[in-house]
Structure 1
Amino acid sequence: MGSIHFVEKIRKFNRFYANLLGKIDQKIYHKPFPLTEARVITEIHYRNGCTATEIQENLGIDRGYLSRIIQRFEDEKIMIKKQSTKDKRQYSLYLTEHGINIYNDLVQNANSGVDTMIKNISEHSITKLVTSMETIETIFTESSSIKPKVSIRPFSPGDVGYVAYLHGKIYTSPTYQFGKIFEYYVMKGLTDFLKNNDGGELWVAEVNGEIVGSIAITKFSDQIAQLRWFILNENYQGMGIGKNLIETALGFCREQKYDHVFLWTVSTLEAARHLYKKYQFTLTEEKPNDEWKDTLLIEERWDLDLTL
């Protein structure tokens, strides 16, 4: 029973910290968005296109309570639901522009609240506090089977350069052996996108805060979109990230009222081609490419009619 001493110490800390967080939450999260609703808004923001079931499992919220929250958010135009094209029983959740503004206000209020909480603490003590928090997080993460935190979010300043880096690193590796000209091709397209991304968007996938993949939609015409820069670090395949990226991009296309979306890939990218087939893209064109590597590549165009 020697462990009882540690158990009591942990419970004592839990009581103290729960009371402290309760006071903070009361100051930061108030009507019309108490803590639980703020957490749901945050979850929809970071897991753009997630389902209610995924939110329930991740946050541990009662199904009925969550259903009422989602209904209220939909009524107040904070979020929208998109029916899955694969499973008519499933709906993906997205924040509206109004919802994104609410999320940004919540973040600002939370940052302000925490800043007020620590303003009278010395820098040395804050460093010790944060280090202790990171230690607690690390210990429990390493000693449990908690799944890595995966999020899909629109790009922020600095992300586009990292997306170019990711393409260069992966495709010039021994696995693919693309030449340096391919990285130039990617960077040129991303630069053009930064100058004008009207009708488009770029998302990055993060695992525990590290960018591991990306996808983008660019406007080809008023009715046609192009899917571009779909990439995923091979170390993170099998986690459903590629699927989430594709669904995020296609959801955006439907939201923007595009009738058609197409993409270009190469025949050797089997994992990506498998996903394109899964989401009903059809191979429509092939052409040789001798610019990106020493051996001949076959570029492929895949198309999807969004009106069906």
Structure 2
Amino acid sequence: MNRTIPTPRIDGMRSSARAIVRELGFMQKGLAGTELSPSAVHAIIELGYGTVTTATDLGDLLHLEKSSVSRLVQKLAQDGLIAITMDLSDKRSRRLALTIDGQRLLREIENFGRQQLRSACDQLVDSDLAQIETGLVLFAKALRAQRQTAATSAANVEVRQGYYPGVIASVAYLHASYYSANYGFGAVFERKVATEMSEFMSRIDRPMNTTFSAYRGDEPLGSVSLDGEDLGEDVCHLRWFIVNPAAQGLGIGNLLLQSASSFVDEHKFESTRLWTFKGLDAARHLYEKNGFSLIHEAAGKQWGTEVVEQEFARPRGYS
């Protein structure tokens, strides 16, 4: 379906969605009356329902990476809420199930959630309640369809490592066009990206340096570079991370940062640093998801426009 929904309408729906998240307690510690994280609560519910029985399936359902699922499963097992057993049909796999304590917690979560929703629904007349039921079902269906479409598109993505003809020009163009349109960056910024990346490419064949670029056919979808020389002291510099706006929703950013994290771990750098600026919330989410933490921020003009510059670091051994 090709149509353009007006931005104010989209923003109105986003505002309502954020309000629902806040009111249901997803922004607070102790979701559903427990001391568990949101992902742990969802894991207890889905394992209790029998929706999934393995860590791999749980990760797919909750959209969590392998390392995050591993930590989650380990914590729930340590707390005595789930049991892990060998899958007799596939000895490489482990089956997950709620323990008696886990089943007891599931009943408490269910009672809490039902009462919370029942109290809210008591404020509505039957016709409004019916609209909400229908709307939630349709919206969940639309989100699943969107994710499946994105997954199909992502399957056609190729990640290339190292220098490829045109990579300097495409990375400079993606940076210049995006930051000019959204943040008013100009010639100073574009010249800085092109010049510094050109210098970096003269060192790209050295083992401590590399670039990962995502392509769909000949279309550049994004790129990130790892410079293991310019900071010294066994610190890797993550540089020129960019995703083509046309590729948003395909998981390109996460794919590139996972490739970058694997590279720095394989080469045993003590830490990885990157510099960005305040306000790039989607990128910050990806950085933090992949082990980076904000360590410093201050106003600066290194990119030609005054912004609050930020430095992030990822320590060796993060998983």
Task: Provide the TM-score with structure 2 as the length reference.
Answer: 0.49
Amino acid at match of 2:166: G
How far apart in 1 are the matches of 2:68 and 2:209? 24
* Pair 1:207-2:212 in alignment: no
* Deviation of 1:221 (Å): 2.4
Q: Name the counterpart of 2:152.
A: 147
Could you say if the C-alpha distance between residues 158 and 209 of structure 1 is closer, same or farther in structure 2, counting changes exceeding 3 Å?
Answer: closer
Amino acid at match of 2:179: Y
- Asked whether the 8 Å contact 1:267–1:298 carries over to 2, the reply is yes
How far apart in 1 are the matches of 2:296 and 2:316? 19
- Asked whether the 8 Å contact 1:258–1:306 carries over to 2, the reply is yes
- Asked whether the 8 Å contact 1:181–1:291 carries over to 2, the reply is no
How far apart in 1 are the matches of 2:283 and 2:221? 15
* Deviation of 1:234 (Å): 2.0
How far apart in 1 are the matches of 2:169 and 2:303? 20
* Deviation of 1:231 (Å): 0.4
Q: Name the counterpart of 1:185.
A: 192
How far apart in 1 are the matches of 2:269 and 2:184? 35
Q: Name the counterpart of 1:165.
A: 173
The aligned runs of 1:46-61 (5 Å cut-off) are none
How far apart in 2 are the matches of 1:156 and 1:209? 11
Q: Name the counterpart of 1:77.
A: none
- Asked whether the 8 Å contact 2:261–2:290 carries over to 1, the reply is no
Amino acid at match of 2:226: I
How far apart in 1 are the matches of 2:317 and 2:219? 36
How far apart in 2 are the matches of 1:305 and 1:291? 25
- Asked whether the 8 Å contact 2:271–2:314 carries over to 1, the reply is yes
**Correspondence for 1:253 among 255, 264, 269:** 264
Provide, for residues 36-56 of structure 1, a one-character-per-residue CA deviation record: whole Å limited to 9, x for no partner: xxxxxxxxxxxxxxxxx9xxx
Q: Name the counterpart of 1:96.
A: none
* Deviation of 1:86 (Å): 3.1
* Deviation of 1:303 (Å): 0.4
Q: Name the counterpart of 2:202.
A: 195
Task: Provide the TM-score with structure 1 as the length reference.
Answer: 0.51
Q: Name the counterpart of 2:281.
A: 270
SS of aligned partner of 1:280: coil
Q: Name the counterpart of 2:316.
A: 306
How far apart in 1 are the matches of 2:193 and 2:277? 14
- Asked whether the 8 Å contact 2:238–2:272 carries over to 1, the reply is yes
* Deviation of 1:176 (Å): 1.9
How far apart in 2 are the matches of 1:250 and 1:189? 22
Provide, for residues 206-245 of structure 1, a one-character-per-residue CA deviation record: whole Å limited to 9, x for no partner: 1343102110100132521011110012222221111100
- Asked whether the 8 Å contact 1:285–1:300 carries over to 2, the reply is yes
Q: Name the counterpart of 1:21.
A: none
* Deviation of 1:178 (Å): 0.7
* Deviation of 1:290 (Å): 3.3
How far apart in 1 are the matches of 2:224 and 2:193? 13
| Structure 2, unpaired ranges of 5+ | 1-55, 57-64, 72-148
- Asked whether the 8 Å contact 2:221–2:252 carries over to 1, the reply is no
Amino acid at match of 1:164: A
Could you say if the C-alpha distance between residues 165 and 189 of structure 1 is closer, same or farther in structure 2, counting changes exceeding 3 Å?
Answer: same
* Pair 1:285-2:296 in alignment: yes
- Asked whether the 8 Å contact 1:222–1:258 carries over to 2, the reply is no
SS of aligned partner of 1:172: helix
Amino acid at match of 2:167: D
* Deviation of 1:291 (Å): 5.3
The aligned runs of 1:1-308 (5 Å cut-off) are 85-88=67-70, 147-148=152-153, 149-154=156-161, 155-173=163-181, 175-197=182-204, 198=206, 199-219=208-228, 220-221=231-232, 223-290=234-301, 292=303, 296-308=306-318
Structure 1 segments of 4 or more deviating over 6 A? Answer: none
How far apart in 2 are the matches of 1:272 and 1:182? 18
- Asked whether the 8 Å contact 2:296–2:310 carries over to 1, the reply is yes
| Structure 1, unpaired ranges of 5+ | 1-52, 54-82, 90-144
